Chain A
Amino acid sequence: MRIELQKRAQVSTLFSMLSPLLALVLTLFFGGIMFWMLGKDPLDALYSFFVEPLLEVWSLHELAIKAAPLILIAVGLSVCFRSNNWNIGAEGQFTIGAITGSILPVLYPEWHSPMILPLMLIMGMIGGGLYAGIPALLKTRFNTNEILTSLMLVYIAQLYLDWLTRGPWRDPQGYNFPQTKAFVPEAVLPEILDSGRAHLAIVFALVAAVVIWFMMRFMMKGFQVSVLGQSERAGRFAGFSARRMVWFSMLLSGAFAGLAGISEVSGSIGHLQPAISPGYGFTAIIVAFLGRLNPLGIIASGFVLALTYLGGEAAQLSIGISDKVSRVFQGLLLFFVLSCDTLIHYRIRLVRNQTAGGAHA
């Protein structure tokens, strides 16, 4: 027996809709097996992981808080990935955005003005964008692989934040905790509803998704992204510049990640500290693929992945499984998404081997 792929004459619309769902079902199935191996009742565990967090108003707010950075970053990444630029350093751009966005409230804590919040957001976007500009510059100027450089910059950004919050930016009245002064109320992202903590970040995320969806669907720029991503050669014939696309996609995704960073710090944390993200920048890669690199799909997948974070916390409390399970779920999900995507372009057939010897897996 072996597996053989047969190229479909055209992309299967059925499977482009079905493949993310199929991946979800498979993840749940294997997740259940994992819980069973950990000695828990699988249905019980899955219930407390994926359903319980949806039953309370406060945890719905938490869901929105966690979905916001995921969606925002993933929307930017979708443009990168579609144009074949592999920015995997969003976590670093998120961190730098959080830092540059925090300059005003940390260094000028006496400044109370309605101007401060918009300025913070803009500075966060600029910081994240510029940080993503480094791999873009290196790729266009020195032909350096952006995957490796953007990833290395994540470690550097995190160490820089660590130094800032333990060193020059540490709150002198903070009992030696490695964190900055709490932001003034004017510098805190306002909540959107009276019923809970969810703040404006989720609105930014949804707006960004719709804008980028519009761009990809109806604007010349979006067309350039797809053409250059599928074939740089074809793009060149059409007069599109691959070099400028590197800059565009990297700066855009960096700015979105930076906005996510400062929004998270300003809206959810309220000060800067060494650890500000449970890996949003990396999880957003999964969000982007689960959403099939389509901004509207990313909205849905952002909430799904946010649920894995919440579910991890919930399951830890209610059935005593470690919250590391969430990361396993996220990894499994990406695997299944990628394998199910094969169904979109290929028909899979199991072939019984007639000739011995020529078999391969």
Chain B
Amino acid sequence: MLEAILLTVITAATPLVIASLGELVTERSGVLNLGVEGMMIMGAVIAFAATQATGSPYLGVVAGIVAGAVFSLLFGFLTLTLVANQVATGLALTILGLGLSGQIGESFVGQPGIKLQPIAIPLLSDIPFVGSLLFRQDLIFYLSIALVVGIHWFLFRSRTGLKMRAIGDNHASAHALGINVIRTRYLAVMFGGACAGLAGAQLSLVYTPQWVENMTGGRGWIALALVVFASWRPIRVLAGGYLFGAVTIGQLHAQALGIGIPSQFLSALPYAATIVVLIIISHNRRTTLINTPASLGKPFVPER
């Protein structure tokens, strides 16, 4: 019983972790992309479509990643090349993504999907309890853990990561030092898009292997909140993602048990939890100020 619950928590947490990690990198470079929900849903629908067309969920995963990255380029072009308002453009990306995915996925509604199968890691998967929990998982789960470690290393141990943080903290100085601000930001935005696309693919290939309109259900927004919650640190994203996964699954189980609380109130729990978490994290103005990339959301036009 416990094992089954923990497994569902992991499945619910994985898309949140991945999407937040992508957004974390984008924000570390100083760009606020509010279009996570839109990129995620595009990843979900394209991953589903590619899987249906080819019969291979792995090609679906790749397609989802590519879809997210390509879609994020729209945002990149507007905000980085045309210096449009980042908040408004991110919203536009979400609105367009939700519309476009509904249009693309119309013929998929009700079709059975193909689930991404777990891969058992030899030896490790034989460990009782832990083995089946952590080492008999699907590819996307392994990727999520690799991403946490990889991004932590990249941001805090690599030269390029240092440059990227420098851009996020002060783009004018970084530019003066000869760092290509716009190019780095394009890459960071695309990485964020690719992660959101992967998170979407997880939804339509693992979490519920089918296509449902608006199936992201606000997860993109929760992922954005998680970045704040994690104060822009990858390892804390992992913790936050699992906390939210637990809340989501906990309320589902409570609904199934019928504990006398209306199901709508339980469904509202993850959203309410997001607000509570944001309050706890943000109330100390000084720590927020220290952690937030200082150039976040500010437009940059290179002066020569």
Contact = CB atoms under 8 A, between A and B. Distances in A.
Contacts of A324: 99, 102-103, 106
B100 interface: yes
B186 A361 contact: yes
A228 B135 CA distance: 54
Contact of B272 (A152, A163, A322, A326): A152
B268 A160 contact: yes
Contact of B96 (A144, A322, A335): A335
Q: Which residue, of A3, A332, A361, has the highest number of chain B Cβ atoms within 10 A?
A: A361
Contact of B95 (A148, A149, A330): A330
A156 B272 contact: yes
B228 A148 contact: yes
Given A160-B264, A163-B265, A335-B92, A328 B103 contact: yes
Contacts of B267: 159
A326 B95 CA distance: 11
A348 B83 CA distance: 11
B274 interface: yes
Contacts of B83: 5, 342, 346
Given A148-B228, A148-B278, A285-B91, A335 B74 contact: yes
B55 interface: no
Interface in B46-71: none
Interface in A318-359: 322, 324-332, 334-335, 338-339, 341-342, 346, 348, 358
B103 A325 contact: yes
Given A142-B279, A145-B282, A327 B98 contact: yes
Contacts of A331: 92, 95-100
Interface string B263-298: 011011001101100110011010010000000000
B268 A155 contact: yes
Contacts of A156: 268, 271-272
Interface in B169-188: 180, 182-183, 186
B301 interface: yes
Interface residues of A, number: 50
B130 interface: no
A109 B282 CA distance: 45
B95 A334 contact: yes
Nearest to B102: A324
Give the dominant DSSP class at B's interface.
helix
B85 interface: yes
B95 A339 contact: no
Interface residues of B, number: 50
Contacts, number: 146
Nearest to A346: B83
Interface of A: 3, 5, 7, 81, 86, 88, 138, 142-145, 147-149, 151-153, 155-156, 159-160, 162-163, 166-167, 282, 285-286, 289, 322, 324-332, 334-335, 338-339, 341-342, 346, 348, 358, 360-361
Given A88-B91, A142-B279, A286-B95, A148 B274 contact: yes
A339 B278 CA distance: 32
Contacts of A330: 95, 99
B88 interface: yes
Q: Which of A86, A322, A339, A348 has the most CB of B within 10 A?
A: A339
Contacts of B268: 155-156, 159-160
Interface string B87-117: 1110110011111101100100000000000
A332 B301 CA distance: 25
A166 B265 CA distance: 13
B282 A361 contact: no
